[in-house]
Amino acid sequence: MTQDNFAAGNPVIEQFGKAHWIDGAVHLPDANATYKIVFSVSAPAKKPEAPNAGLERVARAVNLYSMSGVTPDRLHCVAVIHGEATSSVLNDAQYQTLNGRPNPTARLIAALQVAGVEISVCAQALIGNGFPQDGLLPGVTRSLSALTTITVLQRDGYSLMPL
């Protein structure tokens, strides 16, 4: 497999998660295996005008698995948003109230969702930060808590990737 097989290093999510194919790399994903990954995203964006870097890394992971030949039906990902990253899933109106600008992570989250990644926010973090339960970007699910969601998914065979 060479870089020529892919769209500028971004085979699934073209605008985010830039990745580079490396000929001769070791420990490549098996294209015939199924992967289940839960990403724990707790860090805030580095700048209020930038997308969340943890979610950017989720996009990179999706692209890297795809570049390795893993088809979308064999890659199951859930990004659990909690802690200081919680505001990353607020809709534009709520984010603007908080930061004075539209949510810079909104396009990234939409692209992840199109690629099949579930974005789930810790409801405890929403409550703890005083964010409204209904002020989320479209398609973002609410979990009881990151603490329970991550362990439930691990029990179900997901590998934990803390970001």
Q: What is the pLDDT along the chain (163 residues), one digit of tens a residue?
A: 444 444 334 478 989 999 998 999 999 999 999 999 999 999 998 887 899 999 999 999 999 999 999 999 999 999 999 999 999 999 999 999 999 999 999 999 999 999 999 999 999 999 999 999 999 999 999 999 999 999 999 999 999 999 9
Q: Are 103 and 62 in contact (CB under 8 A)?
A: no
Residue 22 lies in a domain: no
Token pair 């964006």: residue: 45
The reply to whether 49 falls in a domain is: yes
CATH value at residue 90 = 3.40.1260.10
Residue 45 near residue 62, CB atoms below 8 Å: no
Domain that holds residue 116: 33-162
In a domain, 122, yes or no: yes
- Residue 11 inside a domain? The answer is no
Residues 6+ apart with CB under 8 A from 48: 99, 101, 104
Note the pLDDT of residue 121.
98
Q: Is residue 6 part of a domain?
A: no
Judge whether 28 lies within some domain: no
Query: How many domains does the chain divide into?
Result: 1
Is residue 133, in this structure, part of any structural domain at all?
A: yes
In a domain, 59, yes or no: yes
The partner residues of 120 in beta bridges, in order of sequence, read 80, 141
Do residues 153 and 78 lie in contact, with contact meaning Cβ atoms separated by under 8 Å?
yes
